[in-house]
A and B are shown apart, each in its own frame.
Chain A
Amino acid sequence: MKKTHYLPVVLLIVLGLFLAACGGGTAQEVSEQPAATTAPETAVEQPADTEAPAADSGSQVEVFSWWTGGGEAAGLEAMIKVFAEKYPDIEFINAAVAGGAGTNARAVLATRLQAGDAPDSWQGHAGQELIGTYVAAGQLEPLNFLYEQNGWLDVMPETLIPLISQDGNIYSVPVNIHRANVLWANPNILSENGLEMPASLDEWFAAMDTLQANGMDAPLAMGEQWTAMHLFETIMLASLGPDAYNALWDGTGDWSSPEVAQALANYEKALSYTNSDASALSWQDAGQLVIDGDAAFNVMGDWQEGFYRELGKTPNVDYVWAPVPGTDGNFQFLSDSFVLPVGAPHRDAAIAWLTVAGSKEGQDAFNPVKGSIPARSDGDRALYGEYLQSAMDDWASNNVVGSLTHGVVANDSWKSEIDTALGLYLAGGDLDSLQSALVAAAGASDQQALDSAPAEETMADVSGPVEVFSWWTGGGEAAGLEAMIKVFAEKYPNVEFQNAAVAGGAGTNARAVLATRLQAGDAPDSWQGHAGQELIGTYVAAGQLEPLNFLYEENGWLDVMPETLIPLISQDGNIYSVPVNIHRANVLWANPTVLADNGIEMPTSLDEWFAAMDTLQANGMDAPLAMGEQWTAMHLFETILLASLGPDAYNALWDGTGDWGSAEVTQALDNYAKALTYTNSDASALSWQDAGQIVLDGDAAFNVMGDWQEGFYRELGSVPQEGYTWAPVPGTAGNFQFLSDSFVLPVGAPHRDAAIAWLTVAGSKEGQDAFNPVKGSIPARSDGDRALYGEYLQSAMDDWASNNVVGSLTHGVVANDSWKSEIDTALGLFLGTSDVAGFQTALVDACASSGPCQ
């Protein structure tokens, strides 16, 4: 019995070891682990590159990839070395996980992301694999700023950028490029059988028929299932051509078409030439068959060249290559790229890594070792071998299409459905069921594309009514609203839309109704308001609105709304409204015929403008400047204020840093008074439309109004540049004085979910592109579809993107309601008295009593 006593003793010792392992663990690893992290000793002495953005010293960056072996690992090491030289203070943690072309790695990554433990950056195939999966889930930060800072847009191929972008945002930094559509062949077999490299599918099939007749059973070597998918994508491209191939992936093509059936028949024919043991072979084994002369051909990506070279084979002697027959001139590519996750633990360090990954140095360190070409077009050719140089030439000159197998054209879900369909076919299915499975997969992926927009995913089952309050009751506004409601009804079929629109003078009546309802505790679910101080100074100050930052984050709106706009709709970092459209206030409308008749050009400065109107008056036109009721006078006032002061002084007046009593303001008021002398005497009796009509009729030459007038003119059947012309109000060129309609979420909305659903549509590309072309405004989002907009709006979109943005007074951007109403009062008095000094004093008082001038 005694000899068995030591067993529990041993167990106890082991338990002690375990506890020791728990306790001493972390201290141990640091010293134990020199190999896992790159040693930056040599780099420390090296001065950090000047362009390197400062990152916290002693910081670290964990980068996730599946480059663990062979040339890939060596390439990564080379790039890490470049990184260590530039950023000696950042510790690089190489979290590479190998396995089956990234399958294991992706599972680990997905699990870590689910658990909220994102690495600082990770590798992924550029294209839908990243966009369809991570961008759709809102996990990635757009990298446009990096591209701008580093000038990468100039060195990355133009064709590549759209493939790594979504809604105008670039989401990854591609490091390398591989070509998928390469046909490898054994030159000795070809010459023995009197064959040339085939240039078309028919030639290729004929050549393989010859080889079979000469006793080679399987002239086309293939490996396991993914290599069958690789063959599939190249033959699809060869059969359909690049346009139809691309159409299949962007949803405009038809998977059930006879052309696709023909392509699948070609695929079946190609498979008939393959070896029967394909599923038992890796791609390397299949490549080996060609080298050994057991097969003549093999379709594989250009990484096979690296494999052949490692076997000690000589290009053009032991193997030759060409584009897959029928795909000449097309470069079917795949690319590895790195991303920046939202909430990266060490964002600065991650950006440093991405900067290196996108740099010429980094890519020229990585690619020659990995055996790929750089994603940048300015790689140093001398570093690359014969094949890679030819690939660089092709990449620069060919038509670029994406690979399916390697994640460019389809998202993960779609690809896995196609994989299953192909697998079932290879396991003994027939072509018809393959095609119908492919059709079904494409259909399912459309469904997912809808599902994957996160807000919609959670909101699609929202039901009940939603009451939305606006002042869009007529004309283009009402039609635009209807168009957007239609989009809403498609997305949320269970929500009943209650259009609580109340008409009235730029929303004046509507706002009164709204105020009453709010006082009575009968708030609608959402209402329209002018983006800016009108909403912030009024409703936000009263605590009536919920911040909407969560919506902006969920939907990625921060990336698509102009940066200048966000501060104007925010208070203390909280965003309170969803802008739907943008209008320009500082537009001068003119009648080209009147101008030509009087030998006048569109004026570019206030003085020119006044001189022109003097001429017109001299020629017998009493009131060359058409104006309407009082708010249009305020509209004229704000544009002339901007023209006289310039944007900085103008803005300063509104943020409290400027002095309303200054001599400059006096000068501006004088200009305004002068402008008023050219206006029609019946102004106060006219609506803005009446005033616009006067210009169109040739009874006045000019009119200052917002760009909604363009929609009005078009509705009257007038033709731009013939019936009317436009320019920025003289002296305000280069400035975009804007206003924006937006919707809000009130605190305690009766149907909050439905209201959020409405806001989601109002902020979406679809919603805005439905509304704005009809209303005659430009979308607040910067990614609107230009093709939908007319000539004027396209020019406005350009100006919006390039001009200096300032806010409108009349339309609620720069001043809160009470300040604006005091200004309105002062202005009304001035219109009667023409007392500039009194007007100025009133303005100074208004700013002190209701504005920021304390």
Chain B
Amino acid sequence: MRARVADRPRRPPTRAWLYILLLIMALFYLLPMYIMLVTGFKSFDEVSLKTMWNLPSGLAFDNFVAAYEQLAPHLWNSLRLVIPTAAISAMLGSINGFVLTRWRFPGADIVFPLLLFGMFIPYQSILIPLVQFMRTTGLYGSIPGLALTHIIYGIPITTLTFRSYYITVPKEMVEAARIDGAGLLETYYHIFLPVSAPAFVVVLIWQFTAAWNDFLFAVVLTNPENWPITVALNNLAGSQIIAWNVQMAASLVAAIPTLIIYIFLGRYFLRGLMSGALKG
């Protein structure tokens, strides 16, 4: 890793500018999070537009404790939902992307745009047939039903992502493998899967986040005992007076698992680099 950095010819002043640029960007991304964090520690009467930049008067964790108590029962629901969703979506996307890129079959040219077009369907307008479908299949109200929904509506995006990575894999490698007598699965396993890590990361991030933060499907398709964390988070707010300090604290609490996943998955960007180097 470090070796590669050293390889490159660098002009020091440029690098300083790069850091400054990076810090400015970091500021842009951090400002709203600063507000969230600061507000999360404030008491209700300290929260107001005028004083939004001010630090809280004390470091009270009451809001976080209150938030956690409300959210905790739904944490397990969310995990049961999100982990299988992300994993199955990634597998499906990888296989679809592979088949549609490099193992063509009659009509494949039509199938892919048709899959993609499905992405643009506005979810709000298909809630009713969706609920009816889930009820007839007996999946209504349950976590598997919700997971299935996320997986299916994730097919276009995951297929697309994998396809745009696999298209960069040189054709010659596939041909070479074929000449060696490798079948479909062998080609996938030995040539495509090893270079897939960055694509898996991108797709897992997407599906994990989408399923974790989804509110619309969750609130419509699950019953109260299976509500994932977003519904509980949303329910912290009443219809009239909203305690923003608890809300901010709660959304930070709810975001922690996603953050952990990002940090954990980030390592695979590096692995992707290694395999890319290997390939070259």
Contact of B128 among A10, A102, A114 (CB under 8 A): A114
Q: Does B169 contact A (CB under 8 A)?
A: no
Closest to A8 in B: B193
Does A21 contact B143, Cβ atoms closer than 8 Å? Answer: yes
Does B143 contact A284, Cβ atoms closer than 8 Å? Answer: no
Q: Does B56 contact A (CB under 8 A)?
A: no
Which residues, 457 to 484 on A, are CB-close (under 8 Å) to B?
A: none
A310: which B residues are within 8 A, CB to CB?
44-45, 241
A112 to B73, CA, bound (A): 24
Query: Given A17-B83, A312-B45: A115 and B131 within 8 A (CB)?
Result: yes
A731 to B84, CA, bound (A): 80
Q: Mark B118-131, 1 if CB is under 8 A from A, else 0.
A: 00000000011001
A97: which B residues are within 8 A, CB to CB?
219, 231, 234-235
- Distance in Å from the Cβ of B186 to the closest Cβ of chain A? 13
Which residues, 99 to 148 on A, are CB-close (under 8 Å) to B?
A: 99-102, 104, 107-108, 111-112, 114-117
Does A98 contact B193, Cβ atoms closer than 8 Å? Answer: no
Which residues, 198 to 224 on B, are CB-close (under 8 Å) to A?
A: 200, 215, 219-220, 223-224
Contact of B88 among A4, A15, A101, A114 (CB under 8 A): A15
B44: which A residues are within 8 A, CB to CB?
310-311
Q: Does A702 contact B (CB under 8 A)?
A: no
Q: Does A58 contact B (CB under 8 A)?
A: no
- Distance in Å from the Cβ of B232 to the closest Cβ of chain A? 9
A100: which B residues are within 8 A, CB to CB?
239
Does B224 contact A292, Cβ atoms closer than 8 Å? Answer: no
A284: which B residues are within 8 A, CB to CB?
241-242
Q: Does A285 contact B (CB under 8 A)?
A: yes
Closest to B134 in A: A115
Q: Mark A64-84, 1 if CB is under 8 A from B, else 0.
A: 001111111100000000000
B84: which A residues are within 8 A, CB to CB?
14-15, 17-18, 21
Does A69 contact B219, Cβ atoms closer than 8 Å? Answer: no
Interface centre among A21, A96, A292, A307 (most CB of B within 10 A): A21
Does B241 contact A99, Cβ atoms closer than 8 Å? Answer: no
A3 to B110, CA, bound (A): 36
A292 to B48, CA, bound (A): 10
A281: which B residues are within 8 A, CB to CB?
49
B131: which A residues are within 8 A, CB to CB?
111-112, 114-115, 117
B-side interface residues, number (CB < 8 Å)? 51
Does B197 contact A7, Cβ atoms closer than 8 Å? Answer: yes
Q: Does B135 contact A (CB under 8 A)?
A: yes
Does B200 contact A7, Cβ atoms closer than 8 Å? Answer: yes
Q: Does B107 contact A (CB under 8 A)?
A: no
Does A11 contact B91, Cβ atoms closer than 8 Å? Answer: yes
Q: Does A832 contact B (CB under 8 A)?
A: no
Closest to B147 in A: A18
Closest to B136 in A: A115
Closest to B233 in A: A98
A288 to B128, CA, bound (A): 40
- Distance in Å from the Cβ of B223 to the closest Cβ of chain A? 7
A62: which B residues are within 8 A, CB to CB?
224
Q: Does A33 contact B (CB under 8 A)?
A: yes
Q: Does A375 contact B (CB under 8 A)?
A: no
B225: which A residues are within 8 A, CB to CB?
29-30, 32-33, 36
B174: which A residues are within 8 A, CB to CB?
none
Contact of A98 among B140, B235, B243 (CB under 8 A): B235
A434 to B236, CA, bound (A): 37
Q: Does B168 contact A (CB under 8 A)?
A: no
- Distance in Å from the Cβ of B56 to the closest Cβ of chain A? 16
Does A111 contact B220, Cβ atoms closer than 8 Å? Answer: yes
Does A94 contact B237, Cβ atoms closer than 8 Å? Answer: no
Contact of B73 among A8, A26, A33, A288 (CB under 8 A): A33
Contact of A307 among B127, B196, B241, B271 (CB under 8 A): B241
Closest to A178 in B: B240
Q: Does B76 contact A (CB under 8 A)?
A: yes
B90: which A residues are within 8 A, CB to CB?
11
Q: Mark A320-352, 1 if CB is under 8 A from B, else 0.
A: 000000000000000000000000000000000
Does B243 contact A70, Cβ atoms closer than 8 Å? Answer: yes
Contact of B144 among A25, A95, A102, A307 (CB under 8 A): A25
A29 to B83, CA, bound (A): 18
Closest to B244 in A: A284
In the assembled complex, 19 residue pairs joining A and B whose CB atoms fall closer than 8 Å, in A order, are: A4-B193, A11-B90, A14-B84, A15-B88, A17-B84, A18-B87, A21-B143, A25-B142, A32-B225, A69-B242, A70-B238, A96-B235, A98-B237, A98-B239, A99-B234, A107-B220, A117-B135, A306-B240, A311-B44
**A-B pairs, 5 with minimum CB distance:** A18-B84, A69-B238, A68-B235, A14-B87, A115-B131
Other contacts beyond A11-B91, A62-B224: 5, CB < 8 A: A4-B275, A11-B90, A98-B237, A107-B220, A281-B49
Q: Which residues of A line the B interface, CB within 8 A?
A: 1, 3-4, 7-8, 10-11, 14-15, 17-18, 21-22, 25-26, 28-30, 32-36, 62, 66-73, 93-102, 104, 107-108, 111-112, 114-117, 281-282, 284-285, 288, 292, 303, 306-307, 310-312
